């Protein structure tokens, strides 16, 4: 039974990690394309951007709903505490996602599109901003009492380090959005996004370097956690691999490759995500509440695995099918 | 304006506001998805172009509402964590799992196949497209199922015990199959179906009154009417069964629904109140129009009550709902609309049998068509009223008889909630008005009957022409 109480929360930590990773990657390029739409030079170009997302944005966003539901069920304490602590970033994110989602439907039917174009771009930016602050402040730690209830103030999520994380995440989204568009567009439009991809690669890298170096300096707990073997080797390897991947991304962009930049970006996301996961584990409300303390009862966790576990491959299957059906370029019409 | 500094009241207002607005969109799309399955099924079977054009026209309204429904639903899930953290912790083991099931089984299914349903007409074979439409409808209704499982568990918690204020599940299937579950799911399922049917029927009636595409809309009108013959009486029957359950499991809610202050002993008769002014101060109704001996007929179809009924006074003030008037009238509005829609269906069926609804003559049935036009928004009002009865009537409990709403709110500064509440109120009002505006534009524009029929024998995964995606618009195949 003891082993079970250790094992099950770990399984759920990994499942939640999977949902979160899929969300950040898939809705990441959605949000990135949305932010980039603010800079689109013509209405025709903006239309291509939105068309490239038309069939997938809803499914991509659903991974967030799924992550929320699974966190609620598997770690109820964390769900309540984290969201209460992050009240303002959560509301900003939700408002952003609402603006963005309705822009798809309303722009389609509107004669004057400016307001919905703005709703789409600004909504995407707000959603990314809220998520960035949330990530930054979870990373930084949430003040709780002995029972794991939030005891901090309403502005706890705001610090220069969380601003840095938020900016880096936005850059990351712009990067993956750009490489997605490199894959989905042609000609001049494609060239534009090769440029934004390169720019975003540099800014994201700068942010990542800053976060990687500042984290052990500012967080004693993380420092002790990281600077002891065997994690030390892992954390030594992650920045090296990261630099290598950025190099490969740069080369593929320079060579004018179409699909590989996106693949390299996804791998960069994966690597960063694993790094963050290893820093946070075994905490679910850093720096004090572990996954074992916040977990639902073992029977609950087992029940959810039985129901949800077998659905994960099915969900992945039809989501992939959706991408296969709509594969190919989105270009301007010839009529 | 004391409530503006009360975090619990503000959190309740925020939840109520987002729920009342959010409901407007999925209540249509959930039912309409089934309608789309029916018309597309007719097309797949008969290959009549009319059915294809029906599927395409109604899916325009469908997608408008669907997108807003998704967007407006997001705050619902997150509020459990942001505004009701103690609640999340207390019941997360069960309640949270159910929301997780909703997302993974239902919502994801709907979202995953929606792209194919909307834009895949010429990209996948018709049968795959039809499968996608079925999956979208199935997912939507599975959502109803899980949400109603979660909500009915709040009404009649089962399958475990509260230990130190935290719910520990002993038997999940017992918790899922809690006493209210079956009736609640069915009542909501038929509510979404009925609302959609009368919206589609009302819009069809509008076109026929305007004598636009009369034959085309006579078709959808008859499909709707055929479905309404079954749906409206079933809904009344399930409504009655639900009220019986409320009487048994939530006596304080029943007392509020009937504004009944005094106990009624078994074996006696009681009047049924039709209109009244309930007052919490005097603990009585200040003014009342009653149907003599009606309560027994309403509840048991006979004049004497076989079991006693508890009056509101038998609970202390803090253990019974406060908004008696709201619950009382919401219940009357809901059931009144239920009967009104069934009546409209009956009159229409009589006209149908008399041969008045043939394509050539249907537009002359002006009073009948106006009735349908008037009925179009009634389903929404009934659904909103029903949820008010259900959730305001449950107060002061979040989990009936176990957890008090006042103890379940997050400890947040009131100003913070007030700010988000104001933001949501403005945003949702804008969404509501813009949806009406764009929906009316779609309706005024009307169906495109020239839309080419997709090729019947289509290979799976056909070559994708770049020109398929056009700027400024949806991909060509998604256009009306």
pLDDT in tens, B402-414: 889 988 988 888 8
Band (pLDDT 50/70/90 cuts) for residue B206 is very high
**Most A-contacting residue of B69, B140, B472, B474 (CB-CB within 10 A), to test interface:** B472
Burial class from Cβ neighbours inside 10 Å (0-12, 13-18, 19+) for residue A198 reads middle
Beta strands in B240-396 (DSSP E): 272-279, 284-291
pLDDT in tens, B25-81: 999 999 999 999 999 999 888 888 888 999 999 999 998 998 898 889 889 989 998
Element (H, E) at B408: none
| Cβ contacts of B303 within 8 Å, gap of 6 or more | B269, B293, B296, B297
In a domain, B283, yes or no: no
Of A95-99, A205-209, B405-409, B454-458, least confident by mean pLDDT is: B454-458
Which residues does residue B404 pair with via DSSP β-bridges, in sequence order? B397
Residues in chain B within 8 Å Cβ distance of A62? 103, 107-108, 111-112
- Chain A CA closest to residue B436: A106
pLDDT in tens, A226-238: 777 777 787 788 8
The dihedral sign for the CA sequence B242, B248, B252, B254:
positive
Enumerate residues 136 to 165 of chain A having a beta carbon within 8 A of any beta carbon in chain B. Answer: 149-150, 154
The answer to whether residue B476 scores a pLDDT higher than 70 is no
Task: Round to whole Å and give the CA distance between A163 and B328.
Answer: 51
Q: Which has the closest alpha carbon to A97: A136, A60, A55? A: A60
Q: Name the DSSP letter for residue A333.
A: -
| Cβ contacts of A285 within 8 Å, gap of 6 or more | A77, A78, A81, A82, A138, A142, A144, A148, A294
Q: Which two tokens stand for residue B3?
A: 């409530």
A105 with B63: Cβ contact below 8 A: yes
Residues in chain A within 8 Å Cβ distance of B458? none
The answer to whether residue A121 scores a pLDDT higher than 90 is yes
The answer to whether residue A334 scores a pLDDT higher than 80 is no
Instruction: Give the residue numbers spanning the domain of B447.
Output: 2-263+310-457
Band (pLDDT 50/70/90 cuts) for residue A1 is low
The answer to whether residue B294 scores a pLDDT higher than 90 is no
Residues in chain B within 8 Å Cβ distance of A331? 466-467, 469
Q: Give me the pLDDT at residue B468, please.
A: 45
In a domain, B397, yes or no: yes
Residues in chain B within 8 Å Cβ distance of A55? 114-116, 118-120
pLDDT in tens, B342-388: 999 999 999 888 888 777 788 788 888 999 999 999 999 999 999 99
The answer to whether residue B467 scores a pLDDT higher than 70 is no
Q: Which two tokens stand for residue A216?
A: 């052990």
Residues in chain B within 8 Å Cβ distance of A77? 88-89, 92
Picking from B427, B466, B474, the nearest residue to A54 by CB comes out as B474
Please compute the mean of the pLDDT values over residues A305-314 and round it to a whole number. 86
- Our count of domains for chain B comes to 1
pLDDT in tens, B74-109: 899 899 989 999 999 899 889 999 998 898 888 888
Q: Give me the pLDDT at residue A331, please.
A: 61
Burial class from Cβ neighbours inside 10 Å (0-12, 13-18, 19+) for residue A85 reads buried
Cβ–Cβ contacts within 10 Å for residue A309, how many?
13
Q: Give me the pLDDT at residue B433, please.
A: 94
Q: Give me the pLDDT at residue B480, please.
A: 42
Residues in chain A within 8 Å Cβ distance of B81? 68, 72, 79-80, 82-84, 90
- Chain A CA closest to residue B97: A73
Residue with tokens 């059906």: A325
* DSSP secondary structure letters along B285-331: EEEEEEETTHHHHHHHSSSB-SS-B--GGGS-GGGS-S-HHHHHHHH
Q: Give me the pLDDT at residue A26, please.
A: 93
Beta strands in B22-125 (DSSP E): none
How close is the nearest chain A Cα to the Cα of B411, in Å?
A: 8
pLDDT in tens, B322-332: 889 899 999 99
The dihedral sign for the CA sequence B311, B316, B321, B326:
positive
Q: Which has the closest alpha carbon to B242: B301, B180, B194? A: B180
Q: Which has the closest alpha carbon to B25: B143, B105, B168? A: B143
The answer to whether residue A187 scores a pLDDT higher than 90 is no
């Amino acid at each position: 039974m003891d082993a079970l109480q250790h094992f099950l929360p770990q399984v759920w930590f990994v499942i939640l990690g999977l949902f979160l990773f899929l969300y950040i990657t898939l809705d990441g390029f959605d949000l990135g394309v949305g932010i980039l739409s603010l800079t689109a030079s013509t209405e025709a170009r903006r239309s291509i951007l939105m068309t490239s997302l038309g069939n997938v944005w809803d499914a991509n966003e659903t991974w967030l709903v799924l992550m929320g539901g699974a966190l609620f069920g598997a770690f109820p304490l964390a769900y309540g505490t984290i969201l209460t602590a992050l009240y303002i970033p959560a509301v900003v994110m939700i408002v952003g996602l609402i603006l963005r989602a309705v822009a798809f439907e309303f722009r389609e039917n509107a004669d004057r599109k400016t307001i919905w174009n703005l709703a789409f771009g600004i909504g995407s930016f707000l959603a990314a901003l809220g998520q960035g602050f949330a990530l930054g402040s979870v990373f930084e730690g949430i003040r709780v009492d002995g029972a794991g209830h939030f005891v901090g103030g309403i502005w706890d999520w705001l610090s220069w380090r969380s601003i840095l994380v938020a900016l880096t995440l936005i850059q990351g989204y712009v990067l993956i959005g750009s490489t997605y568009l490199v894959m989905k567009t042609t000609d001049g439009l494609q060239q534009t996004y090769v440029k934004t991809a390169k720019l975003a690669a540099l800014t994201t890298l700068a942010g990542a370097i800053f976060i990687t170096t500042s984290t052990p300096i500012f967080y004693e707990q993380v420092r002790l956690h990281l600077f002891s073997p065997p994690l030390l080797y892992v954390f030594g390897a992650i920045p090296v691999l990261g630099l290598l991947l950025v190099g490969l991304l740069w080369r593929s962009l320079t060579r004018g490759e179409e699909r590989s930049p996106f693949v390299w970006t996804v791998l960069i996301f994966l690597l960063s995500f694993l790094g963050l996961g290893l820093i946070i584990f075994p905490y679910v409300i850093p720096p004090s509440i572990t996954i074992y303390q916040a977990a639902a009862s073992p029977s609950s966790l087992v029940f959810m695995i039985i129901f949800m576990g077998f659905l994960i491959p099915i969900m992945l299957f039809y989501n992939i099918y959706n991408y296969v059906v709509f594969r190919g370029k989105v270009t301007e019409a010839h009529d | 304006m004391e409530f503006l500094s009360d975090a619990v009241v503000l959190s309740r207002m925020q939840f109520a506001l987002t729920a009342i607005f959010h409901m407007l969109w999925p209540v249509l799309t959930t039912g309409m998805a089934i309608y789309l399955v029916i018309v597309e099924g007719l097309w797949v079977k008969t290959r009549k172009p009319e059915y294809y054009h029906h599927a395409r026209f109604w899916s325009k309204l469908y997608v408008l509402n669907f997108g807003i429904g998704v967007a407006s639903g997001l705050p619902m899930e997150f509020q459990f964590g942001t505004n009701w953290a103690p609640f999340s912790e207390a019941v997360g083991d069960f309640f949270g799992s159910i929301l997780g099931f909703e997302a993974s089984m239902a919502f994801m299914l709907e979202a995953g196949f929606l792209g194919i349903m909307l834009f895949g007409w010429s990209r996948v074979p018709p049968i795959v497209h039809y499968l996608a439409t079925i999956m979208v409808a199935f997912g939507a209704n599975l959502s109803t199922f899980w949400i109603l499982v979660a909500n009915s568990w709040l009404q009649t918690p089962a399958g475990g015990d509260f230990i130190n204020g935290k719910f520990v599940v002993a038997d999940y299937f017992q918790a899922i199959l809690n006493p209210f579950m079956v009736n609640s799911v069915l009542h909501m399922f038929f509510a979404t179906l009925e609302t959609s049917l009368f919206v589609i029927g009302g819009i069809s009636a509008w076109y026929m009154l305007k004598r636009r595409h009369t034959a085309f809309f006579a078709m959808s009108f008859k499909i709707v009417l055929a479905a309404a013959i079954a749906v409206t009486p079933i809904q009344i029957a399930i409504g009655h069964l639900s009220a019986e359950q409320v009487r048994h499991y939530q006596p304080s809610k029943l007392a509020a629904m009937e504004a009944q202050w005094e106990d009624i002993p078994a074996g006696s008769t009681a009047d049924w109140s039709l209109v009244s002014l309930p007052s919490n101060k005097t603990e009585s109704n200040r003014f009342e129009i009653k149907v003599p001996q009606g309560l027994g007929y309403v509840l048991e179809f006979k004049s004497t009550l076989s079991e006693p009924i508890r009056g509101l006074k038998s609970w202390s003030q803090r253990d019974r709902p406060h908004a008696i008037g709201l619950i009382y009238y919401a219940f009357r509005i809901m059931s009144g609309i239920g009967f009104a829609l069934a009546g409209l269906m009956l009159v229409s069926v009589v006209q149908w049998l008399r041969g008045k609804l043939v394509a050539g003559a249907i537009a002359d049935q002006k009073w009948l068509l106006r009735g349908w036009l008037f009925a179009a928004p009634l389903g929404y009002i009934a659904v909103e009223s029903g949820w008010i009865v259900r959730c305001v009537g449950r107060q002061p409990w979040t989990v009936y008889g176990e957890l008090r709403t006042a103890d379940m709110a997050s400890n947040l500064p009131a100003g913070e909630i007030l700010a988000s509440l104001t933001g949501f109120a403005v945003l949702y009002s804008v969404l509501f008005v813009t949806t009406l505006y764009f929906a009316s534009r779609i309706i005024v524009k009307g169906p495109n009957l020239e839309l080419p029929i997709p090729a019947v024998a289509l290979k799976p995964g056909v070559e994708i022409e770049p020109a398929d995606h056009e700027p400024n618009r949806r991909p060509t195949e998604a256009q009306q």
